[in-house]
Amino acid sequence: MIYNLTLLLNGITYAGLLFVVASGLTLVFGLMRMVNMAHGSMYILGASVGWLLYKISNHNWVLALLGAGVVMMLVAFLLQLALYNKAYGNPILGIMISIGVSWIFTDLSIELTRGEAKAFSPEGIVGSTFQLGELTYPYSRLIVLVVAIAELILILIILKKTKVGQIIRAGVDDRDMVSSLGINIELIFLGVFAFSGFLVGLAGVLGGTMVSFSTDGAGSMQMLALMVIIVGGRGSIEGAALAALMIGLLDSFTSAYVPNISTIIVFSFVMAVLVLKPQGLFVKEVRKQ
């Protein structure tokens, strides 16, 4: 019973991390129709920047978390302003540019971490473990879940209760219509991409808090984020949250009970969703662009 409960919590907390990683990519893909192939390396760079701040500040975890988010927001802002806006309407060019950016960011991360695996610890804030009856569970994973839930609520409030959110949702459905209303869609792109950088910076530190991080993890995190947005549906935050939960739980239980075929099962689930619902679990009918 305790073992299965631990697996359940592991799956839910891992889902929280997947959502934080994929949420920014979901917004970018939904609005800009661009697959940012540098997202995984941005995750690692965010973690590396956080690690540098963590060391400089004498292990101040909150500073590392927020600092990594702010730095990566600035990086994403400059990236969109200087490079990605050139790829508007040309997805192949966008993919090629982002792959080149990915290599650069991976090399930067190697320089910051010397290529070694690193891990953060928020123990000075909350202690190391949480005790509930016979269950002992690390606070580090629970913190990731709390941040993910808070982020989900915040994004939904922004998207559904603010004018900016209405513009973003309209842009996901029909960006040409939004442009025809006199709204500067390029400025919206810039803001959304910068916000996605902030989220992936947070995710890097959270991932390093939950387990650890290394430059080798950029590719796998990129793939996981793509799986989440594909299963969830283009531009759907609710879909990304549900997809992250499903993939997180599936990975947790299969890794424990059938570790040799865990990856096969997870990818088979993603392919089954694509066969049954090619546009994802949460999708709207949109006009042709």
**What is the band of 268 on the pLDDT scale with cuts at 50, 70, 90?**
very high
Give me the pLDDT at residue 50, please: 93
CA dihedral for 159, 45, 22, 211, sign (positive or negative): negative
Does residue 248 sit within a domain? no
Which residues are CB-neighbours of 55 under 8 A, at least 6 positions away? none
Q: Structure pTM?
A: 0.87
Residue closest to 54 by CA, chosen among 194, 198, 213: 213
Give me the pLDDT at residue 284, please: 55
The tens digit of pLDDT for each residue in 119-149 reads 888 765 555 766 767 777 788 888 889 999 9
Q: Domain containing 129: what range?
A: 21-217
Give me the pLDDT at residue 54, please: 92
Does residue 267 sit within a domain? no
Helices (H), 114-138: 123-126
Residue 57 has pLDDT above 60, yes or no: yes
Residue 287 has pLDDT above 70, yes or no: no
Does residue 149 sit within a domain? yes
Give me the pLDDT at residue 174, please: 67
Under 8 Å between Cβ of 195 and 189? no
Does residue 184 sit within a domain? yes
The tens digit of pLDDT for each residue in 169-203 reads 776 666 677 777 777 777 887 888 899 999 999 99
Give me the pLDDT at residue 288, please: 43
Tell me which of 91 and 99 has the higher pLDDT.
Answer: 99
Q: Which has the minimum average pLDDT: 8-12, 188-192, 200-204, 268-272?
A: 188-192
Give me the pLDDT at residue 69, please: 94
Tell me which of 64 and 136 has the higher pLDDT.
Answer: 64
Does residue 192 sit within a domain? yes
The tens digit of pLDDT for each residue in 197-249 reads 999 999 999 999 888 888 888 888 889 888 998 898 877 888 899 999 999 99
Residue 285 has pLDDT above 50, yes or no: no
Does residue 63 sit within a domain? yes
The tens digit of pLDDT for each residue in 146-166 reads 999 999 999 889 888 888 777
CA dist 59 and 28 (Å) reads 32
The pLDDT mean for the chain works out to 85
Does residue 139 sit within a domain? yes
* Domains of the chain: total: 1
CA dist 93 and 30 (Å) reads 18
Query: Mean pLDDT over residues 56-73, rounded?
Result: 92
Does residue 278 sit within a domain? no
Residue 233: φ, ψ to 5°: 110, 145
Tell me which of 183 and 22 has the higher pLDDT.
Answer: 22
